[in-house]
Every structure is written in structure tokens, then in C-alpha cells.
């Protein structure tokens, strides 16, 4: 299981724009590099990232090999209600990881 780190403010005022940061440990092997044996190292990247706020999708990204190792995203959302943000990463070779964070809206 890859290590993931998400940053969501624990408390927010209703209607406030909150910044969300998500980082995950992954090599993001491009598939263009040549290994010591002279063979191309097969591509192994995260291809999709989805963030949901109480089950509703608020951010989605399609990733390509040009994304750095340990993909990092910072984006924003409006704090509408208390609940949970879930983060899902999926990729090559059946890679899948999830993480969640709670937010309290006053």
C-alpha cells in the first residue's frame, strides 16, 4: 500500500473556499527509460485521481508520464457541509489507493 498524505482543514466556515492538498508515494515510471539490461522499463504510472466530497465528485485528473514521481495536487473546494473527503488514485498494474479526511463546517 502506497503511502498517501492529504491535507484538508479540520474546520471551515460555511461557504469558505478551502485548499486541499494530496500527495502519494509512487515512482511514476515513464516507460521511456532504458534499464541496466538495455530493455525499456515498462510504464507504471498512476492514471487517474478522483476527489469526492460526501460522495460527490469535486475534482478529477487524468495523469500522464509527464507527472513527477510522488504526484502532488493542490486544488480548492467550497466548504458546504460537514463530512468526509475521499481521495482515490488508480493506475497501471492494478494500482489503487484511497485516503480520506474529515471536515467540520460551522
Partner 1 sequence: MWSPISRPCATDLARGAAGAHDRCEKRAGKRVVGEGELRQGKVKLDLPPLVENGNVVSLTVSVDSPMTDTDYVKAIHIFNERNPQPNVIGAYLGPRAGRASLSTRIRLADTQNVIAIAELSDGSFWSESVNVIVTLAACVENL
User: Using CA atoms, how far apart are residues 106 and 97, in angstroms rounded to an integer?
Assistant: 30
Contact between 77 and partner 1 (CB under 8 A)? yes
Count, residues near partner 1 per rule CB under 8 A? 31
User: Using CA atoms, how far apart are residues 15 and 18, in angstroms rounded to an integer?
Assistant: 9
Shortest distance, position 98 Cβ to partner 1, whole Å: 19
10 touches 102 (CB < 8 A):
yes
Shortest distance, position 95 Cβ to partner 1, whole Å: 17
Contact between 39 and partner 1 (CB under 8 A)? no
Q: Residue from 1, 10, 34, 55 that binds partner 1 (CB under 8 A)?
A: 34
Shortest distance, position 64 Cβ to partner 1, whole Å: 4
Kindly provide the b/e burial profile for residues 66-94, where b requires at least 16 CB atoms within 10 angstroms of the residue's own CB: ebeeebebeeebebbeebebbbbbebeee
Interaction site with partner 1 (CB under 8 A): 17, 30, 32-36, 41, 53, 56, 58-69, 71-78, 80
Amino acid at each position: 500500500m502506497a503511502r498517501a498524505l492529504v491535507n484538508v482543514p479540520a474546520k471551515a466556515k460555511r461557504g469558505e473556499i478551502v485548499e486541499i492538498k494530496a500527495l502519494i508515494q509512487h515512482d511514476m515510471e515513464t516507460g521511456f527509460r532504458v534499464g541496466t539490461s538495455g530493455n525499456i522499463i515498462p510504464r507504471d504510472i498512476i492514471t487517474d485521481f478522483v476527489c469526492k466530497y460526501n460522495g460527490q465528485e469535486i475534482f478529477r485528473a487524468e495523469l500522464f508520464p509527464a507527472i513527477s514521481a510522488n504526484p502532488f495536487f493542490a486544488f480548492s473546494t467550497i466548504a458546504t457541509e460537514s463530512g468526509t473527503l475521499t481521495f482515490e488514485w488508480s493506475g497501471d498494474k492494478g494500482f489503487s489507493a484511497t485516503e480520506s479526511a474529515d471536515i467540520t463546517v460551522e
